[in-house]
């Protein structure tokens, strides 16, 4: 069974690789490379896979999952300029792909139980562009 908790945060980012020149970044990312950044209302779906506990009927208490995601992700990302304020995005381009991978790495160590495991992180940068990450092995 899959269960999903959705959270949202708003942040700014610039699609720039610090190892590349202005011209190379412009070619690679177009307007999104503007060094002052631009913003999105990000929507994150955290999906767990597992079996419900026979007594509680729950796979994991979604309230606990919400508190975990808020503490490990939303509190760090919300209303921040990701490139400057949220490592590793001083070195890694904060594309939705890399945001999904970073969120996975922040949450996965907290989500290992006999009953459930992290299945996917979905990052909506806009309603029309989203990324799914299923971990390194998938």
Residues that bind other proteins in the complex, under the rule CB under 8 A? 15, 17, 20, 28-30, 92-98, 100-101, 127-134, 138
For other proteins, the closer of residues 32 and 111 by Cβ is 32
For other proteins, the closer of residues 36 and 137 by Cβ is 137
Give least dist CB 29 to other proteins, A. Answer: 8
Quote the tokens at residue 77: 């990302």
Planar angle of CA 131, 134, 138, nearest 5 degrees? 130
Planar angle of CA 6, 9, 12, nearest 5 degrees? 145
For other proteins, the closer of residues 29 and 81 by Cβ is 29
Give least dist CB 119 to other proteins, A. Answer: 12
User: If you compute the radius of gyration of the chain from its CA atoms, what whole number of angstroms results?
Assistant: 16
Give least dist CB 122 to other proteins, A. Answer: 9
Quote the tokens at residue 98: 């890399």
Beta-ladder partners of 9:
42
């Amino acid at each position: 069974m899959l269960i999903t908790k959705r959270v949202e945060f708003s942040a700014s980012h610039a699609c720039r690789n610090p190892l590349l020149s202005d011209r190379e970044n412009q070619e690679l990312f177009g307007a999104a490379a503007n060094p002052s950044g631009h913003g999105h209302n990000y929507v994150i779906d955290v999906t767990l896979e597992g079996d419900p506990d026979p007594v509680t009927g729950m796979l994991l208490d979604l309230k606990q999952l919400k508190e975990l995601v808020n503490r490990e992700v939303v509190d760090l990302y919300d209303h921040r300029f990701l490139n400057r304020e949220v490592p590793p995005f001083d070195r890694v381009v904060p594309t939705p792909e890399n945001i999904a991978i970073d969120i996975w790495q922040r949450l996965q160590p907290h989500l290992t139980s006999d009953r459930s495991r992290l299945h996917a992180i979905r990052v909506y940068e806009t309603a029309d562009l989203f990324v799914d990450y299923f971990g390194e092995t998938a």
